[in-house]
Amino acid sequence: MPEMRMRDALREALREEMLRDETVFLMGEDIGAYGGSYAVTKGLLEEFGEERVKDTPIAESGIVGVGIGAAMAGLRPMVELMTINFSFLALDQIVNSAAKLYHMSNGQINVPMVVRMASGGGSQLAATHSHSLEGLYAHFPGLKVVCPSSPADAKGLLKRAFRDDNTVIFIEHTANYGLKGDVPDDPDFLIEFGQANVLREGSDVTLVGYSGSVHQATRAAVMLQEQEGISAEVIDLRTLRPLDIDTVIRSVQKTNRAVIVEDDWKFGGFAGELSAQIMERAFDWLDAPVARVCGKDVPMPYNRNLEFAALPSEEDVVEAVLAMF
């Protein structure tokens, strides 16, 4: 298995899917001549041509709408919105059209489209460019929400996204693009949606994360083992819709404790949803209240130290775990 960075794994997925299925095409802001803001689509214009790799105007709502129309007519578009921060401008198309057409039309029209976007803070991009909105998109029935944490997952999940008959919101954490890992080169390598990944087995506490926060959780698990002798299980959700709550519940039944780690704001965030589901399904298995380690409730400040304080760290996770013993 070749080792590659996540951006390269994503490119491999796009390439393989375009070769496999001629209805797949890409459009987005600066994905062609520029090669993509995060270099994911680099070289694809040269390989597949302008017809299938379309540079678009900066018009998020318009291009997502065009993607929906193309999908309605039987194509499988991938629309890249550069970053999740710009997706607010396309929110109506995503929520009111892409997520609802299948239901409103009584099953006559579906929208097989992949919308890719980069998310997350930590790069000193300040308040408007540091969002983590995975939970926001997971709120809407009719969408699938995918958020990989590793190069292999990124490839397997993105390839799987092109085989889905619904709109898939595919969210990549900017801190993960440079991550290296072994990635299968089998063109049939797919990772099913709704299958959480137990990254590390443990017996004393369950740490749940996705995308970027998986890495804080994993580092915290190592610290807990080495410094406190606490054995933490780490679960990567991989997809928020569909959500593999069963794997989380099974783990909590074993460990009796759960800490959810999420970059997004705590108030009204996905961690709250997860916490409630654990309470609903595993109340009688809990030894402590479910804890949430999330982004602080402020617009993201620019200053490095302030930004660091606003984001959840592995130390925060360790502290939350120790408070349970």
Partner 1 sequence: MAIEVTMPQMGADMTEGTLVRWMKQVGDQVTRGDIIAEIETDKATVELEAFDSGVLRKHVVAEGETVPVGEVIAILGDASEAVPDVDRMPPAVTPARRVPEPVPTANGTEPPRQPAAAAVTPPANAGRLRISPVARRVAHEAGIDVTALVGSGPDGRILRRDVEAAAKGAASEPAAVAPAAAAPAPAVRRAAPAAAAATTEGLSKIRQATARRMTLSKQTQPHYYLTLDVDMTAAMEFRRALNASASEAQHVSVNDMVVKACALALQRHPKFNAEFSDQGLRLHEAINIDIGIALDEGLIAPALLDLAHKTLGTIAVESKDLVERAKHGRLRADEYSAGTFTITNLGAYGVESLIGIINPPQAAILGVGTVMAKPVVVGGEIAIRQVMKVALSADHRVSDGAEGARFIKEIQGLLENPVSLAL
Partner 2 sequence: MTATPRLARKAREAEPDIDQLLDFLYQMQLIRRFEERTGEMYTKGKVRGFLHLYTGQEACAVGALATLQPQDKVVTHYRDHGHAIARGMDPNRVMAELFGRQDGVSGGRGGSMHLYDASIGFLGGYAIVAAHLPLAVGLGLAANMKKENFVTLCVFGDGSVGEGEFHEALNLAVLWNTPVVFFCENNLYGMGVSFQESLSTQVTTLAAAYNMPAVSVDGMDVTAVYRETLKAVEHCRAGKGPYFVEAMTYRYRGHSMADPELYRLKDEVEKYRKRDAIDRLKARLMEGGHLDGAGWEAIVERVEKVVEDSIAFADASPNPPIDTLFRYVTKEPGDA
Q: Which amino acid is at 68?
A: I
Instruction: Give helix then strand counts, H and E, for the chain.
Output: 12, 14
Candidate list 51, 188, 226, 284; residue touching partner 1; CB under 8 A: 284
Among 34, 302, 308, 325, binds partner 1 (CB under 8 A): 325
Q: Are 74 and 112 in contact (CB under 8 A)?
A: no
Q: How far is the CB of 298 from partner 2 (least distance, A)?
A: 30
The catalytically annotated residue of 17, 60, 80, 307 is 60
For position 201 contacting partner 1 by CB under 8 A, the verdict is no
Q: Which two tokens stand for residue 311?
A: 């984001």
Q: Which stretch binds partner 1 (CB under 8 A): 73-81, 215-223, 258-266, 277-285?
A: 277-285
Scan residues 46-75 and list those touching partner 2 (CB under 8 A): 51, 54, 56-57, 59, 61-75
Angle (CA) 283-285-286 rounded to 5° is 75
| Shortest distance, position 27 Cβ to partner 2, whole Å | 9
- Applying CB under 8 A, the span of 91-99, 149-157, 195-203, 243-251 interacting with partner 2 comes to 91-99
Nearer to partner 2, 115 or 260 (CB): 115
Is residue 169 a contact residue for partner 2 (CB under 8 A)?
Answer: no
Does 101 contact partner 2 by CB under 8 A? yes
Check if 273 is active-site: no
Place of tokens 């595993």: 282
125 binds, among partner 2, partner 1, none (CB under 5 to 8 A by kind): none
Calpha distance 303→71 (Å, rounded): 42
**Alpha-carbon span 224 to 229, nearest angstrom:** 6
* E-strand stretches of 153-308: 168-173, 180-182, 197-200, 205-209, 232-236, 239-241, 258-265, 291-295
Question: ∠174-154-169 over CA atoms, to 5°?
Answer: 75
Q: Is 280 a catalytic residue?
A: no
Could you say which of partner 1, partner 2, none residue 218 binds, taking C-beta under 5 to 8 angstroms by partner kind? none
Angle CA 181–183–184, to nearest 5:
155
Q: Which residues bind partner 1 (CB under 8 A)?
A: 203-204, 229-231, 256, 283-288, 323-325
Q: Which residues participate in catalysis according to the annotation?
A: 60, 129
